[in-house]
Amino acid sequence: MNLKIYNTLSKEKELFIPLDKNLIKMYVCGPTVYNYAHIGNARPAIVFDVFFRLLKSIYPKVLYVRNITDVDDKINNAAKELNEPISSITNKYTDIYHQDMDSLFVLRPDIEPKVTENIEHIILMIQKILDNGYAYENEKHVLFDVTSFNDYGKLSKRNKEEMLSGARVEVASYKKYPGDFVLWKPSENDDPGWDSPWGYGRPGWHIECSAMVDKFLGQEIDIHGGGQDLIFPHHENEIAQSCCANKNTKYAKYWIHNAYLKMEGEKMSKSLGNIISIKELLDNYDGEVIRLALMSTHYRKPINFGESLLEQSKNILNKLYKNLEYDSNDDTISKDVLSPLLDDLNTPLAISNLQKIKCSKTLLNSANILGLLNRSKDEWFSLNENLSISEEDIKSLIKERDEARKSSDFKRADEIREKLDKNNVVLEDVKGKTTWRAKK
RNA sequence: GGCUGUGUGGCAGAGUGGUUAUGCUGCGGUCUGCAAAACCGUUUACGCCGGUUCGAUUCCGACCACAGCCUCCA
């Protein structure tokens, strides 16, 4: 059973060879909790959830860490705007993020560290980088000295000159070199802050992930994931920090990045007003439908998100649930689902093959590795908040219709069918027996 | 401007140097009192232009279009 994954580092599909096959270590960059998570945020969560499930099915133990960023200037700004304490913002949106992820059937990572709870290790890490001569202190800031690290740019495939030629932002006075980035910065007034060897302040953006990986997973890990936009500068800087703190040339063995999503062909942006939160979407679509929609395109390709994709996903799920006859403890997984997943997580092909499975047991097990078919058939088809009629009324109407049909009063029978249809109830006459289900 | 990536039938989306996945939708049919479900059938696609080849959607080159990144955005 060979797993192949595309590694951003080599720009090639590689055979996955774990550092230790008894313990797989995976880290994914998590959310900054200052607002509702939008649909774009759901993509990496779902992609790496499938990876997590797949790895767990192959290896005895997988340790999955995903951080929560609760120190960030965006959070500070949100707190000021709403005139609320920072902790109430971060707590609120952390809870909402968890709810959203649960609704999408995204498994919780094994460890979900917060920046605020790990400042000590961040300070320790920065100190090591300073001690090793890869950083400097200036105007109350600690900065990473990019020119001191030869491998800088190896992930994003950029050289230092290229990066500078395109720089659009004025260089801060405390930087020796325009490409240098902040490890620690001073805090003033209401800013959250902690005492450190360099004064009262807070960590820069990139150091938290290096510190979390170091603390919870160690110096070297198997997989590091995130959105494509994080390749530069975030992940490039993480490599620099971790390698220089630990005097190690290695950090993450496989770098995996998911592509973006577009809204109905357009990019998602505030000015277009087409940013949609997971929460809003969940009002209209089941979490599994959204999940399937986000898996219907390969993770390294842009996905065109929209109503038609959601409708299509809903139809597929209805069909899959229809084929689900009973639950079971059997653990057979279809080879036609597993092997596409083993080939760089080809979810579209796996989903396509899923629809061809005839055996209900195998269907369920195979779907579960994708995080699908989480409910029973009955549960799925009666799940409908729009059902404006009680089960009792439905049953008595069915009975009335049966009698009408027996006496060939088809006009009345059709009236009842129509009435139920308006209440989102679909009737099916199978083998002389009438069953009902909610219209999805 | 630099770097990276994408371009397949109404839609979604695999894949491949030559035997034209698959799903959804639509349409037609079987079935049904009517429906639903199920099953059957169905419009032969790979951005544009060259090159390599007996043959390219698949390899190579140019072009076009679109997207992302270029210091804190998944």
Q: What is the DSSP string of A203-253?
A: E-TTHHHHHHHHHHT-S-EEEEEEEGGGIIIIIHHHHHHHHHHHT-S-SEE
> Does the structure show a pLDDT above 50 at A412?
yes
Domain ranges of chain A: 17-258, 283-374, 380-438
Question: Can you list the positions of beta strands (E) in A232-372?
Answer: 252-258, 261-263, 266-267, 303-305
Dihedral sign, CA of A377, A379, A382, A386? Answer: negative
Task: Give residue A293's pLDDT band: very low, low, confident or very high (50, 70, 90).
Answer: very high
Q: Cα(A32)–Cα(A116) distance, rounded to whole angstroms?
A: 12
* Complex confidence, ipTM: 0.87
DSSP assignment letter at A114: B
| pLDDT score for A326 | 55
The C-alpha atoms of residue A82 and residue A306 are separated, in whole angstroms, by: 31
Q: How far is the CA of A271 from the C1' of B68 (A)?
A: 18
Q: B50 C1' – A12 CA distance, angstroms?
A: 29
Residue A252: closest CA among A266, A270, A240: A240
> What is the C-alpha to C-alpha distance for residues A241 and A143, in angstroms, rounded to an integer?
11
Strand B: list positions under 7 Å from protein Cβ. 1-7, 11-15, 21-25, 32-38, 67-74
Which has the closest alpha carbon to A39: A256, A294, A226? A294
CATH architecture assigned to A17-258: 3-Layer(aba) Sandwich (3.40)
Separation of A5 CA and B56 C1' (Å): 28
Whether A359 sits with its Cβ under 7 A from any strand B atom: the answer reads no
- pLDDT category at A136 given cuts 50, 70, 90 is very high
Whether residue A68 has pLDDT greater than 90: yes
Please determine, for residue A226, whether its predicted confidence score (pLDDT) is greater than 60.
Answer: yes
C1' of B44 to CA of A433 (Å): 43
Each residue's pLDDT tens digit, A197-220: 999 999 998 999 999 999 999 999
Nearest to A317 by CA among A361, A374, A276, A261: A374
What was the pLDDT predicted at A359?
80
State the sign of the Cα–Cα–Cα–Cα dihedral A99, A104, A108, A113: negative
Task: Give the model's pLDDT for residue A1.
Answer: 73
Between CA A208 and C1' B72 the distance (Å) reads 12
Pick the CATH number of A283-374 from 1.20.120, 2.60.120, 1.10.10, 2.60.40: 1.20.120
pLDDT tens, residue by residue, A44-54 = 999 999 999 99
The separation, in Å, between residue A353 CA and nucleotide B19 C1' comes to 22
Question: CA at A304, C1' at B10: how many angstroms apart?
Answer: 16
A309 touches strand B (CB under 7 A): yes
Instruction: Give tens-digit pLDDT for A326-346.
Output: 555 566 888 889 999 999 999
Could you tell me which residues are beta bridge partners of residue A24? A62
CA dihedral (A203, A255, A295, A371) positive or negative: negative
Report if CB A276 to strand B is under 7 Å.
Answer: no
Instruction: For residue A432, say whether its CB is under 7 Å from any atom of strand B.
Output: no
The reply to whether A230 Cβ lies less than 7 angstroms from strand B is yes
Question: Where on the phi/psi map is residue A187: left (φ > 0), alpha (ψ -120 to 50), or beta?
Answer: beta
Question: CA–C1' distance A367–B8 (Å)?
Answer: 27
Residue A343 beta carbon within 7 A of nucleic strand B: yes
More confident residue, A164 or A133: A133
> Does residue A276 or residue A63 have the better pLDDT?
A63
Tens digit of each residue's pLDDT (9 = 90 or more) over A355-409: 888 788 888 889 999 999 999 888 888 766 567 788 888 889 999 999 999 888 9
Closest CA-bearing residue to C1' of B3:
A158
Q: What is the pLDDT of residue A166?
A: 45
Judge whether residue A153 contacts strand B, using its CB and a 7 Å cut-off. Answer: no
pLDDT band per the 50, 70, 90 thresholds, residue A26? very high
